[in-house]
Amino acid sequence: MSLLFLFLFIVVLLTSKFLWGRIFTPFTVFLGSFTLCFCLFYGSSFLYKDLSSHSIIIVLFSIFSFICGSLIYKVIPKKNIGKSSKVKKNFYNEINIEVFSNIVFVLSVIGFMGYMISIQRSIGILNAIQNPNLLNIAISQDLIQVNSLILILFKLSLPNSGLILIQNLIFRKKKKNIIFWIISVAINISVRRNVLFYLIIFNLFIYLYFIQSKKLRKIDLKKFIPIILSLGTLISFFQYMQKSLNKETMILKPEIFSIPVSSNIINALLYYIGNPQSFSQYLEENNGIVNNVFFLGASLRFPYKMLSIPLDLNFDDTFLEMNFVNIPYLFNTTFSQYYVYIEGGIIWVIILYFFIGFVSSRFFVKYTKSNNFITLMWLSFITLCLFFSVREYLPILLDFWVFVVYMLTLMFITNFKKEKKIK
């Protein structure tokens, strides 16, 4: 089975190159993540491999739907999007974009400071630094009470970091922007780790799409140094936090493809390759939950929560709580397909992944034609969601909706400026 999925992974790369002329595409990220995940899953010596036929069918339907959506957009006739990158600089005023990102940066720092004040009131910042596990427990048990507005302001640092990076890539490079970007990363270093991973990988995708859009005659290895350094730092931070939080999984003589692998690597890989088995077990254990979930209760979790008070809705999101399953190690993450299936059934899985394939392909083609920085941000964020879909479903998180509102605000500002200039 491992060889089959390795072959499929190579086929995905070649198909992407043939259809879109690029290796790095949303098509590659989504399909490549799942084929590589299953390749390593079946090649491992330390995981259960009793997947139910139900779970396999759901994954196959989602993948085929995504492929159909991507291919249909590829073959349908398209209007002329335009290829001039000079047009974008006329439409989008660099100063206005910089002012917007600066304001949002200040707001995110205010949110961070408010979050730190909440930690100080709850357990003390020094205690949290000395014992990160204490902070992790406090967050898990909702012992830290944070004002919703403060939390939203803090989470603005994720999308705004991408805009700061784009200013350095497309417009003039400024030391101030570099400092702002570093601060945006630093304030997201936390025991929870997930937002830091979102931020770094989101920015990596922006960088990869940007350098891929440049028609280089030869590969400039220097351009990949930031990628290598970022990934190396992330892995080191992950390993450090695993030890600090006592989350290391003890696995005796772990092997992948019959090759001995160190425990540090296995602990990192487990979060990735353990999801096929957890997906199967969650489906079996929560088989009847589908009938007790609001329609699109996972995808629209936060809109439902916002409307629950004015509309007197009794919205219960406890179905999203993930109890640990045994794979045979305690595990509580799973494929995004689980959340999509329990909120709408198999028909909704087919519709949604078809739509995602169609939209992701559209944004990729649009960016390759126009090199528009707003399209680049949307494309990178969609790719981020696809990349993490192998272990979670980002729309259930507040971070997702903060990003959407941020981008809609940015689009409103730039469209207003564009219309004003045309008149």
Reported as a pLDDT band with limits 50, 70 and 90, residue 211 is: confident
Distance between CA atoms of 60 and 66, rounded to whole angstroms? 10
Average pLDDT over every residue of 200-210: 92
Distance between CA atoms of 35 and 7, rounded to whole angstroms? 9
Average pLDDT over the chain reads 84
Judge whether residue 421 has pLDDT over 50.
no
Q: Which pLDDT score, from 0 to 100, does residue 391 have?
A: 92
- Residue 126 CB neighbour total at 10 angstroms: 9
Query: Per DSSP, which regions of 169-284 are E strands?
Result: 255-256, 259-260
Q: What is the pLDDT of residues 172-200, one digit of tens each?
A: 667 888 899 989 988 988 777 788 889 99
Q: What is the pLDDT of residues 281-319, one digit of tens each?
A: 999 887 767 667 788 889 999 888 888 877 777 888 888
Q: What is the pLDDT of residues 217-253, one digit of tens each?
A: 455 556 566 667 767 777 777 767 766 666 667 777 7
Q: Which of 39-48, 233-242, 263-272, 339-348 has the lowest mean pLDDT?
A: 233-242
Distance between CA atoms of 160 and 183, rounded to whole angstroms? 11
For 15, the token pair is 């198909």
Distance between CA atoms of 208 and 205, rounded to whole angstroms? 5
Judge whether residue 382 has pLDDT over 50.
yes
Q: What is the pLDDT of residues 88-126, one digit of tens each?
A: 444 456 667 888 999 999 999 999 999 999 988 888 888
Average pLDDT over every residue of 129-148: 80
